[in-house]
Amino acid sequence: MFGLMISKQEHQEIEYLLKREMEEITLDLGDHRIDPSIKEAMEERYSVLFQLFRRFATGEECLQYMPKKKKRTN
């Protein structure tokens, strides 16, 4: 485990960057032209970013960016 000391401004900047990246991924996931294997990698990246975002954001903000559950097809 690592500790990190950052200023309030740095905290806000990291939070902003995480939000922006997650929004970009969300938009790209809606693009039908992107290959499914690429989308899977994007979903994994989103998951990692969201786990990091949870450490910075309030509960209400986390609800806005919570990853959608995948539909399973058998």
Q: Where are the domains of the chain?
A: 9-65
Tell me, what's the pLDDT at 72?
A: 53
> Which phi and psi angles does 20 have, rounded to 5°?
-60, -45
Q: What is the mean pLDDT of each run of 10 residues along the chain (74 residues)?
A: 90 95 95 94 95 91 84 54
Tell me, what's the pLDDT at 71?
A: 59
Residue type, 59: G
pTM (two decimals): 0.83
Tell me, what's the pLDDT at 31?
A: 93
52 Cβ neighbours under 8 A, 6+ residues apart:
18
Residue 51: CA atoms inside 13 Å, Cβ hemisphere, count? 5
Q: Is 22 within 8 Å of 50 (Cβ atoms)?
A: yes
> Which phi and psi angles does 7 have, rounded to 5°?
-80, 170
